Copies of this chain bind each other. A is one copy, B any other.
Amino acid sequence: MKAVVYKGPFSVAVEDVPDPEIKHPNDVIVKVTSTCICGSDLHMYEGRTAAEPGIIFGHENMGIIQEVGSAVKERKVGDRVVMPFNVGCGFCKNCQRGYTGFCVTVNPGFAGGAYGYVAMGPWRGGQAEYLQVPFADFNCLPLPAGTENEANYALLADIFPTGYHGAELADVSPGESVAVFGAGPVGLMAAYSCVIRGAAEIYVIDHVKERLDKAGEIGGIPINFDDGDPVQVIRDMRGGDGVDKTIDAVGYQAAARGSSAAGGQQTEVPNIVLNQMIDVINPTGIMGIPGLYVPSDPGGVDENAKRGALTLNFGRLFEKGLSLGTGQCNVKRYNAYLRDLITVGKANPSFVVSHEVPLGDAVDAYDKFDKRVDGYTKVILNP
């Protein structure tokens, strides 16, 4: 079959690889219909991880079940399904408590597995024609048959639940004010989730005009941090008051103010968003942090950044009595509910999708997405 294979920094290829097979009685094989390129794929693509050439990319996968292992109970050939990017077993101490992003079964020696990602276990990615899915009864979310809502449902694999996870970690509730840092795909999904959860005011901070425009269209209040300190801007808009909750949808590659205005490489300040969140939030607030931070970053801006150490204004955080929650999204905790919102027409997350292209165009898509040219913000590959 054809698959997107990592060849080295800034290089992928669409190549022939062996078809996946049922290796365990609880497996199914899915014929992939939609598979997204994720911002976190670019971490590998740019050589900012330990990924070795040969990895098949793709952790945001959706398709039709093609073959079913002998122990699978509920899933059938022909089922239309979407899989969480996390691979879970369903029975370990973390999965059974709903922490399916921290499964201790599927990636021995580590808590958490995923398809097609460095250090996340032996699972091949789904940017390919077919995908092996383990523990299929647990990992396959069934979808209404047909082809409707294909792009909407495809986002259930990762970014819609991941954005929602930010709102859940911050316990965003009706009537609250929230500041969402970052208006990339995850940030927009976080802001959109705050809308769904009934927040009163949703400030969205970024410095890319197109992203901020989208934030405004879904009901957010766009704040361009190149135009001024976002903490001060928000406080000025609120008569000096801060916000109830904050969400970090940026992570460790946070850009300094004005750093992309020059058109060149952006200047990273890994702790800038976290410290701004501490500043802009009111005492007793909660900070949800779905944005990625890593314990090892070969491309980090300094020695601390390289080992994932950040300098935080912890005295201020304590003085305010803040709480925070972090970590990759436990997709299975949310995906059925978000699916149902899509099915009845109350959620349409695919507004973030900029391009849908054939699998064969993956090389071009990676290149443009990485450079953020031609409006590439979120790409779905259709094998």
Known contacts A89-B73, A311-B304; is-contact A112 B283 (Cβ 8 Å): yes
Is A225 among interface residues, defined by CB-CB distance under 8 A?
no
Which chain B residue shows the least CB distance to A100? B96
Pick from A92, A169, A314 the residue with the most CB of B within 10 Å: A314
A118-145 Cβ-contact flags toward B at 8 Å (1 or 0): 0000000000000000010110000000
CB distance A310 to B308 under 8 Å? no
A173-216 Cβ-contact flags toward B at 8 Å (1 or 0): 11111000000000000000100111011000000000000000
Separation of A346 and B199 alpha carbons in the complex (Å): 9
A97 neighbours in B (Cβ, 8 Å): 98, 284
Is A292 among interface residues, defined by CB-CB distance under 8 A?
yes
Known contacts A175-B337, A175-B340; is-contact A326 B318 (Cβ 8 Å): yes
Separation of A196 and B91 alpha carbons in the complex (Å): 27
Minimum distance in angstroms from A90 CB to a CB of chain B: 4
Minimum distance in angstroms from A305 CB to a CB of chain B: 9
CB distance A307 to B315 under 8 Å? yes
Is A372 among interface residues, defined by CB-CB distance under 8 A?
no
Minimum distance in angstroms from A111 CB to a CB of chain B: 4
Separation of A272 and B319 alpha carbons in the complex (Å): 19
CB distance B102 to A321 under 8 Å? yes
Is A274 among interface residues, defined by CB-CB distance under 8 A?
yes
Minimum distance in angstroms from A234 CB to a CB of chain B: 15
Is A74 among interface residues, defined by CB-CB distance under 8 A?
yes
Minimum distance in angstroms from A150 CB to a CB of chain B: 19
Is A320 among interface residues, defined by CB-CB distance under 8 A?
yes
Minimum distance in angstroms from A238 CB to a CB of chain B: 11
Is A289 among interface residues, defined by CB-CB distance under 8 A?
yes
Minimum distance in angstroms from A14 CB to a CB of chain B: 31
A282 neighbours in B (Cβ, 8 Å): 111
Is A1 among interface residues, defined by CB-CB distance under 8 A?
no
Known contacts A94-B284, A283-B112; is-contact A344 B200 (Cβ 8 Å): yes
Separation of A89 and B136 alpha carbons in the complex (Å): 12
Is A93 among interface residues, defined by CB-CB distance under 8 A?
yes
CB distance A71 to B26 under 8 Å? yes
Is A66 among interface residues, defined by CB-CB distance under 8 A?
no
Which segment of A5-13, A32-40, A293-301 sits at the interface? Answer: A293-301
A205-255 residues at the B interface, CB under 8 angstroms: 252
Minimum distance in angstroms from A36 CB to a CB of chain B: 21
CB distance A318 to B327 under 8 Å? yes
CB distance B320 to A111 under 8 Å? yes
Is A360 among interface residues, defined by CB-CB distance under 8 A?
no
Query: CB within 8 A of A198: which of B71, B102, B197?
Result: B197
Is A377 among interface residues, defined by CB-CB distance under 8 A?
no
Separation of A332 and B193 alpha carbons in the complex (Å): 26
Is A322 among interface residues, defined by CB-CB distance under 8 A?
yes
Is A354 among interface residues, defined by CB-CB distance under 8 A?
no
Separation of A311 and B201 alpha carbons in the complex (Å): 32
Separation of A327 and B282 alpha carbons in the complex (Å): 13
CB distance A311 to B310 under 8 Å? yes
Q: Given A174-B197, A294-B319, A312-B312, list of 6 further CB < 8 A pairs?
A: A25-B71, A173-B337, A177-B340, A200-B346, A289-B318, A322-B327
Pairs A–B under 8 Å by Cβ, sample size 8: A25-B26, A70-B71, A74-B105, A177-B340, A201-B340, A304-B311, A307-B315, A323-B326
